Amino acid sequence: MKTNNNQGFTLIELIMVIVILGILSAVAVPKFFDMTTQAHTKNKAAVIGNIKSGLQLYAADRLVVTGSRSFPALNVTSLLDTILDEVPDGWSYIAGGGTDPDTVAYDDDGTKYIYDGTGGSITVVP
């Protein structure tokens, strides 16, 4: 009786493995890029939410100290002086000064958020 002791994989088996890996990567890669985009969006929302919360805390503190709820005025102080301890990584801060608004910009896509000194609101500039 003769036994065939060939070792290794056939060409068909190798091609099938390559095809299966290709299909899996075609499904996984777009999901990865979508997750990256979602992470950037969540980062922007979190930072702006924190700034808005800081503005509300500032107004509450002013209410306790002065009896009047107010937000930081542009001609008196800047967001960096009153609300932000530091600029988050991946963000830029441009102090307005005078009547010019303070701007916080997300560096990855250039989205700018402007604090105009009224009502604690922050507006998005495309």
- Is residue 104 assigned to a domain? yes
Q: Does residue 35 fall inside a structural domain?
A: yes
Structural domain includes residue 5 = no
- Domain of 36 in residue numbering reads as 12-125
User: Domain total for the chain?
Assistant: 1
Contact call for residues 14 and 22 (beta carbons, < 8 A): no
Confidence of residue 17 (pLDDT cuts 50, 70, 90): very high
- Examine residue 85 and state whether it is found in any structural domain, yes or no: yes
Q: Does the pLDDT value for residue 64 go beyond 90?
A: yes
Does 20 map to a domain? Answer: yes
Q: Per-residue pLDDT averaged across 33-43, rounded?
A: 86
Top pLDDT among 59 and 98 is at 59
In a domain, 3, yes or no: no
| Phi (first) and psi of residue 18, to 5 degrees | -65, -40
> What integer best gives the mean pLDDT of the chain?
84
- CA–CA separation, 119 vs 123, rounded Å? 11
For position 75, what pLDDT does the model report? 67
